[in-house]
Amino acid sequence: MICITLSPDIKLPPQMTVHSPSPDILSALEAAVGRNGLVADPAGMAKYLGDWAGDYRGGALAVLRPGSVGEVQALMRLCNELGLGVIPQGGNTGLVSGAIDSSGAGLVVVSLERLNSIRRIDAGNFTLQADAGCVLQAIKDASEARDCLFPLALGAQGSCQIGGNAASNAGGVNVLRYGMARDLILGLEVVLADGELWNGFSGLRKNNSGYDLKQLFIGSEGTLGIITGVEVKLFPKPAQIETAYLGLPSFETAIQLFNWARRACSDLISAFEIIGAECIELARLIDPNMPGPVEAPVHVLMELSSGPGIDLNALLAGFLAEAMKAGLVSDAVLASSNAQARAFWTIREGLVEGQAKRGYHVRTDLSVRISDIPALIEHARDLVATEHPGWIPLAYGHAGDGNIHFNVLPPLELGESEARALGVEVTAGLYQIAVGLGGSISAEHGIGRSRRREFWAGLSPTHRRMTMALKAALDPKGLMNPGCLLPSTETSS
């Protein structure tokens, strides 16, 4: 029997329960999305049911790949009628099991991958409208071809989709200058749980009339509706970019440097990433010959960008000379070509890939006030050293946003299942430290299924009530991504 997981206070009438994946249901689904749109064989479904990091595996009744907004509406009408739960899926690069249901509760996965056209670029208005299934890199490339910049930038940009970025309110390396997905989205088009279409496009930058409904769907992780179209803000493409790779004595000095740099560089910083030196070894798992541009306990990858008319190179070089004189920076390499700048970024990207290659590890996405970053890292390292000896801590992240990925590698000799069991304890300790500093357990990756309990436990009764009221208003049958973000049963905390 197939059960549909329910959210608190949301009850399905008995006739809404689907009892088996009968041929009738499969043919009704096929009628909604066409033959090309239905994948129901285990081999075909496999790639939609496992995540990038290999941490989660799920089940599904079928994978649906609608080829038009009309087909998304048709399938949602059908699922609403049948009481069938729906998991929207973009590029499936999420790191919190938002698009994978590991309980195998018999839901359908709706992949947006066939809805992948750029609908319109209005360079005069600095806007771009695209189908939700457009891959982020394609949007960045199309913007660049019109001498514009779409600044959302993250390691998964070759695979993640703009609809997934909106649904997860993605961050990345340029948040410091341009904000998160929420700040970059002007409008959305959404198919609601009952199949109705909401067109929230206006192309307007200022539209102060009533509730800003698109904000409800941004960061909703597929729990309120299926995003089918996204309209984003574009920016002038920077005429110059300067990139520096720096060595520093400590995380404290990195934060001092950041504060100083923001003012001294006229707020032209577009990225400020910190990397604990221990992470470089992970990047070398991807490329054993990866050069280490500096030798120091803490590395900083800093980028300035601007239009023409400013001597950006002189600004950065002058700033770094002052910072070295003041003892904040011990070593600095200023990229002399695009290729060298790219090589610096390869180190940052490689260390993430290297962790996945090494296997299971504790992965966090913590945020604290920027000034609390050194304390966060110090307490977290102490916790690992005293309570989990043998585990290897790694600290890196988007320091300019107060966002640290404090990850921990299990000892190699530990078996994977033992490591996963102990990893729960390690994660809980790290969350406690972040929350103790007034921080968040999810800076940019979202809540999904993997952080749901901790998220929900930390909410006030008023916050919970408002959240559930919104859920009940937009998805009264609890069909949208059940088990993600919100508790799935009355008893869940």
Ligand X SMILES: Cc1cc2nc3c(=O)[nH]c(=O)nc-3n(C[C@H](O)[C@H](O)[C@H](O)COP(=O)(O)OP(=O)(O)OC[C@H]3O[C@@H](n4cnc5c(N)ncnc54)[C@H](O)[C@@H]3O)c2cc1C
Q: Residue numbers of the site for ligand X (CB under 6 A)?
A: 52, 87-95, 98-99, 112, 132, 154-156, 160-161, 163-165, 167-168, 170-172, 221-222, 226-227, 352, 444-445, 448, 481, 484
With vertex at residue 406, the alpha carbon angle to CA 289 and CA 400, rounded to the nearest 5 degrees, is: 90
Place of tokens 């002058």: 318
Amino acid at 74: A
Between 409 and 484, whose beta carbon lies closer to ligand X? 484
Answer whether 302's CB lies under 8 Å from 271's CB: yes
CB of 90 to ligand X, least distance (A): 2
Between 77 and 146, whose beta carbon lies closer to ligand X? 77
Helix, strand, coil content of the chain in percent (nearest 5): 40, 20, 40
Distances in Å between the alpha carbon of 234 and those of 105, 129, 149, 151?
A: 40, 10, 6, 8
Between 216 and 315, whose beta carbon lies closer to ligand X? 216
Between 91 and 487, whose beta carbon lies closer to ligand X? 91
CB of 155 to ligand X, least distance (A): 3
CB of 231 to ligand X, least distance (A): 14
Place of tokens 């996965």: 109
CA distance 425 to 116: 41
Nearby residues of 187 by Cβ (< 8 Å), 6 or more positions away: 129, 200, 201, 202, 203, 214, 230, 231
Between 56 and 431, whose beta carbon lies closer to ligand X? 56
Answer whether 302's CB lies under 8 Å from 173's CB: no
CB of 163 to ligand X, least distance (A): 3
Angle in degrees, 0-180, between the axes of helices 251-264 and 312-325, rounded to the nearest 10 = 140
CB of 349 to ligand X, least distance (A): 7
CB of 325 to ligand X, least distance (A): 33
Between 96 and 298, whose beta carbon lies closer to ligand X? 96
CB of 195 to ligand X, least distance (A): 14
Between 57 and 146, whose beta carbon lies closer to ligand X? 57
Q: Mind giving me the DSSP string for 140-201?
A: HHHHHHTTEE-----TTTTT-BHHHHHHHT---TTHHHH--HHHHEEEEEEEETTS-EEEE-
| Residue in the shown chain whose Cβ atom is closest to ligand X | 164
Closest CA to 186 of 259, 243, 235, 258: 235
